Amino acid sequence: MCVDGWACVKCGVFHYPRKVDAEEVARFISEGARCGNAGDYALAEWWFTRVVWDWPGFVPGHVNLAEATRTRLARSEGLDPAVARRLTARMRAQYEEAVESYERDPHDAYAAPIARACLTLAELAVDDRAPDRARRALATFAALPGTDAESVARAAALHRHLDLRLDLFQAAASAPAPLPRHHAPRARHGGHAEARTAVVQALADLAAHERIAPEHCRPDG
């Protein structure tokens, strides 16, 4: 079991991990930071996981674990897509835990890392085409004290993206272009059907975007 707990599979006896004091948690955070600065992000995650296991709801622990995972994602080349999805889900979950803990017991000292968490959660929600989730994260950000100008500008850009539903426009723009009729193969493979479906969806997305933000779809815009 995580940290210092143990369990016997055969007899069913188990022992919960020990709870540690503030000094020990501070050491875990220091070790995690040291590993992260040395480029060992997986080990940094391990140390920060010990923090959130022993002190669930401790904002610095959740934020540091999310940041370590974020850095690992950004600097790891050739990650298996399944691993990348798992790490992204972990990062999102830890940012969410940090925000929820802050909302239960807000401290101004945590406002800056929570601002970063909120903006990251909003960006992830935009990528997932989940506008309601993105707006909730931005609403939490807006209520934070002392946010810096760069973060405010980043939030404003996300609001604009949501208001104009630029995700619809970008999805349409990234769809594969249909082949000219005289070049289109006549094979009955699933790939061609999928391509046609993607084009149809792209046209629907573009039409929806034009209804929401017609000024963004002008030929000269």
pLDDT at 87 over 90: yes
Note the pLDDT tens digit of each residue in 156-193: 999 998 888 755 545 444 545 554 554 445 444 455 66
Please give the pLDDT value at position 121: 98
pLDDT at 43 over 70: yes
Q: What is the mean pLDDT of residues 49-78?
A: 94
> How many C-beta atoms surround the C-beta of residue 69 within 10 A?
26
Note the pLDDT tens digit of each residue in 201-215: 544 544 544 555 555
Taking the whole predicted model, whether its pTM rises above 0.85 is answered as no
Q: Which of 21-25, 153-157, 214-218 has the lowest mean pLDDT?
A: 214-218
Query: Of 38, 66, 45, whose CA–CA distance to 2 is shortest?
Result: 45
pLDDT at 198 over 80: no
